[in-house]
């Protein structure tokens, strides 16, 4: 039984480590989302600065990016609210299954954050002063 407890502790530590690797990125995603919102309100000004800009296409890109950034942030917030590491009423096997499921969820979130971060960097880079 002690082995299962140690294995579960290792699983829990791995889940927390993945979570901790994502947390510093949340602020950047929120800031990028704010930038996107501002850009969406300034399409006319952007067109004046760059008459060749296809504002419809650019607006579409920005709206898709905004959706990705919002979704990643909301999913992380939901995951944090729903994660229950202390479940003394569960058997070791049940806890192991729960932690493995949570590890899969948080790893998928890490990938979603990486994708959103990369796309944000690519799209917003052309708007840097």
Tokens of 28: 């950047």
Residue 2 confidence (pLDDT): 46
Give me the half-sphere count of Cα atoms (radius 13 Å) on the Cβ side of residue 74: 7
pLDDT digits (tens, 9 = 90+) for 23-66: 999 999 999 999 999 999 998 888 888 888 899 999 999 999 99
Q: What is the pLDDT of residue 17?
A: 97
Residue in 34, 38, 20, 15 with CA at minimum distance from that of residue 85 = 15
pLDDT tens digit sequence for 4-23? 568 888 999 999 999 999 99
Question: What per-residue confidence (pLDDT) applies to 29?
Answer: 94
Could you give the count of Cα atoms lying within 13 Å of 68 in the half-sphere of its Cβ?
Answer: 20
Identify whether the C-beta of residue 70 lies closer than 8 Å to the C-beta of residue 27. no
* Tens-digit pLDDT profile for residues 69-124: 999 999 999 999 999 887 777 888 899 999 999 999 999 999 999 999 999 999 99
CA 77 centroid distance within chain? 9
pTM: 0.85
């Amino acid at each position: 039984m002690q082995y299962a407890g140690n294995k579960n502790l290792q699983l829990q530590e791995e889940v927390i480590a993945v979570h901790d690797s994502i947390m510093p990125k949340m602020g950047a995603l929120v800031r990028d989302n704010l930038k996107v919102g501002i850009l969406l309100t300034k399409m006319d000004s952007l067109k004046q600065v760059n008459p060749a800009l296809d504002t419809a296409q650019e607006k579409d890109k920005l709206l898709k990016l905004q959706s990705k950034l919002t979704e990643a942030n909301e999913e992380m917030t939901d995951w944090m609210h729903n994660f229950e590491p202390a479940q003394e009423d569960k058997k070791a096997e049940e806890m192991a299954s729960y932690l493995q499921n949570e590890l899969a969820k948080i790893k998928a979130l890490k990938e979603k954050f990486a994708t959103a971060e990369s796309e944000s960097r690519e799209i917003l880079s052309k708007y840097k002063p």
